[in-house]
Amino acid sequence: MGLFDFFKKKETAPEAQEALEKGLEKTKDGFFNKITKAVAGKSSVDDEVLDNLEEVLVTSDVGVSTTLKIIKRIEERVSKDKYLNTSELNFILRDEIQLLLSENNSNDFRQFEYGDHKPYVIMVVGVNGVGKTTTIGKLAHKLKEANLKVVLGAADTFRAAAVDQLKLWGERVGVRVVAQPMGSDPASVAFDTLQSAVANGEDVVIIDTAGRLHNKVGLMNELGKIKQVMQKVVPNAPHEILLVLDASTGQNAFEQCKQFTEATDVNALAITKLDGTAKGGVVIGISDQFKIPVKYIGVGEKIGDLQLFDKKEFVNSLFK
């Protein structure tokens, strides 16, 4: 069973949809208030409305580059239909955002399978405070519910709190955690975790890493060493490098994504804390600009509030 199928099986569509809509409430309220002001007193979509809409998207943290793409697409539609009215703008905007995400991010999580990888190795990266360890715990919970054997590796050895937090999640979820004393070599922890996972026949390994945005060379060397050491045990590991970003940081999330994608081969994104911010537009901008699949979104504090990102459902919820 693919992970996507499992999530859908465990979470009935209404439950997942309700959690998503609740999680996007702040973003949706801010977004619609701005759009309402942008078209106030206007019956047709003219240059002024488009200028106002551009400002709405930029101030909703969609990002300048992605905003300009969306505005250009809407301009093309307006030029074809001179009598397009403002009441249709929401529908057009929703369609264009969905199309943009589909075109730029065709690698959807619906096709995710573990394939022949056992153990399947996920290395999690991101700065401190973005919800990295919490995301790991929630993901481990989902995987364990799928009857997969999961082990966590506490390779963020620079902060005792990080190791302790991961151990607490391990106890809460009921999965094994491999840890070493504080200050140990992170690569050594990753090596031990993979070695024990192979010996125990475990299905998924999730490795936590240090959340410091030190200079890129240092970050690159550290993550590169961890990868090299893991590959001595499991060739081609890690199969997934998951970057965790905090939606509430807005444009800082774009900068963090830039730094980490330059330092290592990030191939999946998790965007957290959407329920606590009006800056959910970062999901659209980051997905578009970096061409990396957003696989997970955090829409609440409950253990089950980590969801698979579905582009269509996300945009539909934003426009409901």
Alpha-carbon gap, residue 93 to 87, rounded angstroms: 11
Q: Is 5 annotated as a binding residue?
A: no
Among all chains, which residue has been given the structure tokens 């300009």?
Answer: 68
Determine whether the annotation assigns residue 67 to a binding site.
no
Q: Is 261 annotated as a binding residue?
A: no
User: Is 130 a known ligand-binding residue?
Assistant: yes
Cα-based angle 171, 157, 148 (whole degrees, multiple of 5): 40
**What is the Cα–Cα distance from 262 to 265, expressed in whole angstroms?**
8
110 annotated ligand-binding residue: no
For residue 81, what are the contacts with CB-CB under 8 A and spacing of at least 6?
A: none
Does 209 appear as a known binding residue?
yes
Cα 49 to Cα 47: distance, rounded to the nearest angstrom: 5
212 a known binding residue?
Answer: yes
Paired strand residues for 178 = 153
Residue 132 known to bind ligand: yes
Q: Is 275 annotated as a binding residue?
A: yes
Identify which of 115, 105, 97 has the alpha carbon closest to the alpha carbon of residue 236: 115
Task: Quickly list H helices, the chain.
Answer: 3-10, 13-23, 25-38, 47-59, 64-80, 89-104, 132-145, 160-173, 186-200, 216-231, 251-263, 281-290, 311-318
Query: CA quadruple 237, 253, 2, 170: dihedral positive or negative?
Result: positive
Q: Provide the 10 A C-beta neighbour count for residue 21.
A: 16
| 250 appears as a binding residue in the annotation | no
CA nearest 111: which of 269, 2, 218? 2
**82 marked among binding-site residues:** no
Residue 132: name the closest of 122, 147, 119 by CA: 122
Could you say which DSSP state residue 63 is in? -
Please indicate if the annotation marks 129 as binding a ligand: yes
Q: Consult the annotation and say whether 127 binds a ligand.
A: yes
Show binding-site residues. 126-133, 208-212, 272-275
Residues annotated in a binding site for GTP: 126-133, 208-212, 272-275
